[in-house]
A and B are shown apart, each in its own frame.
Chain A
Amino acid sequence: MGPPDRYFFRVVDGGYLDTASSEPLHPAAREAMLAALDQGYADPRRLHTPARHARLILDNAREAVAEALGVRRDEVSFTSSGTEAVHRGLLGLLPQGATVAHSAVEHSAVLHALSWRPDLTVRSLPVDASGRVDPDALGDYDVLALQDANHEVGTVQPAVGAGVVFRDAAASMGRTPLREGWSVAAGSAHKWGGPAGVGVLLVRKGVAWRNPFPADDRVDERVSGFENVPAALGAAAALQAVVAERDDVNARQHALVDRIRAAVAAIPDAEVVGDPVVRLPHLVTFSFLYVDGEAVVDALNRRGFAVASGSACTASTLEPSHVLAAMGALTHGNVRVSLTRDTTEDEVDAFCAALPEVVAGIRREAGL
């Protein structure tokens, strides 16, 4: 890296390090969507030939997702977002007055869905310093809401025993196999390189799930609204590609994240958060004492690196990340880095070289 460029944004190759917020579109998704945009415009409920084309594309997308995830075709629904898949999936499992246990580090979509239902008894399960719940201390519940892996720190949650389990797999779907024991699971296509605006809702056959929202007369009775056929196909194509590539990509990403973890650990008064091993391959979170989260995001951005932060000053609520808080981690000066499928070693090294300079600069300005 050259000297810091304070006056212009620069685009650095490989500088996009925020795929946990949204992964760039996978080439497989682009190709599938371009074809489907021309072929999949009609109403898949109608009986004419263009409608049958659209219906066929939608069925193919469902089939491809089922195959990629190792589930039945009739367990797969497409929603209009990952958040909608979480809301529908979880709320549809909850009879009036149900008791729900959830990890303290669930995504806000889970927490908002639960707080929307005043009839529920809701219990938040504490996590350890790595962000993991204790599988032997889940207590009694009608439904357990437990993510497959954490979206901010990457820690993989444990396997859990019997019972009705809602698994938010938004951070992990495609990257790692679904955790066993799910009754309902949810994913989000733009997290794996599909288009935004497509969620995947999985309802295991035989599970007592009821549509919690108004019904619609569409192809799939679990969801509502006119199907986004091209986007569903793009999501499916990207998922298939990501699953096919994941042995190689995950190993590479896991090693690159280890490099970042080591580089951060060498910076004074820094804390790397989350499980170092049993974690998502592409994601790492860390915090720096005496550093403003917004300032570090901004300074890295000026050097061409796009990262996220869980610090309060970067959040619309001005509250610190509930995930970091539940783990007892430092919430200020927080940075979340998440690699693209083709982030290289050189790009990671450039980031690791820039980071100590950025942190030292901010601390100097703070008078430390």
Chain B
Amino acid sequence: MPSARRFPRWSPGSGARQVCDVVIELDCRGLPCPRPVIELAKLFPDVPVGEVVAVASDDPAARYDVPAWCRMRGQDYVGEEPAEDGVPRYLVRKGATADAASPP
């Protein structure tokens, strides 16, 4: 595993450009596809219903795969916004169906 690879972490959401209240930022910078979606799925059982997770990812596939994950798992894809460093953040709101949110 490359030493430069970074691992996702939780952090409180911040920044003035937010399109909605982000509670959790999932830092997936530097992680190749499909890791951002895997990390999102692993995190999701711990996310309260109604909260928004921002998946920060510079992987070009995340732009399509985070919305596709939401569609397939019955979650609400809110949209995309840039993080302060310019990396896109893909916003996912946890839906009411708790079952649909747990990873397989």
Chain A residues in contact with chain B, CB under 8 A?
Answer: 268-269, 271, 287, 289-292, 311-313, 318-320, 324-325, 328-333, 363, 366-368
Report the minimum CB–CB distance from B1 to chain A (whole Å): 13
Say yes or no: A368 contacts B64, CB within 8 Å. no
Is A325 touching B64 in the complex (CB atoms < 8 A)?
yes
A319 to B68 alpha-carbon distance, docked (Å): 16
Residue of B59, B60, B68 contacting most chain A CB atoms (<10 Å): B68
Query: B residues engaging A (CB < 8 A)?
Result: 32-34, 37-38, 41-42, 59-61, 63-65, 67-69, 71-73, 103-104
Query: A291-B34, A330-B68, A330-B69 known; 8 other A-B pairs, CB under 8 Å?
Result: A269-B104, A271-B68, A292-B34, A311-B33, A312-B61, A320-B64, A330-B65, A363-B104
A333 pairs with B60, CB closer than 8 A: no
B67 near A332 with CB under 8 A, answer no
B72 touches A328 (CB 8 A): no
Q: How far is the CB of A275 from chain B (nearest CB, A)?
A: 18
Q: How far is the CA of A328 from the CA of B77 in the complex (A)?
A: 13
User: In the complex, A200→B101 CA distance in Å?
Assistant: 50
Closest residue of chain B to A320 (Cβ to Cβ) is B61
- Closest residue on chain B to residue A333 by CB atoms: B34
Residues from chain B with a CB closer than 8 A to the CB of A289 are 34, 37, 41, 69, 72-73, 104
Q: Which residue of B lies closest to A291 (CB)?
A: B34
Shortest Cβ distance from residue B89 to the other chain A in the assembled complex, whole angstroms: 19
> Does the CB pair A366–B38 fall under 8 Å?
yes
Q: Which residues of A have CB within 8 Å of B37? A: 289-290, 332
Q: Chain B residue with minimal CB distance to A312? A: B61
CA distance A367 to B59 in the complex (A): 20
A332-B41 CB under 8 A given contacts A289-B69, A363-B104: no
**B28 → chain A closest CB, angstroms:** 13
Q: Within the complex, what minimum Cβ distance (angstroms) separates B35 from chain A?
A: 8
Closest residue of chain B to A332 (Cβ to Cβ) is B34
Name the B residues within 8 Å of A268 (CB-CB). 104
A-B contacts, 16 listed (Cβ < 8 Å): A289-B69, A289-B72, A290-B38, A290-B104, A313-B32, A318-B60, A319-B60, A320-B61, A328-B64, A328-B67, A330-B69, A331-B61, A332-B61, A332-B65, A367-B42, A368-B104
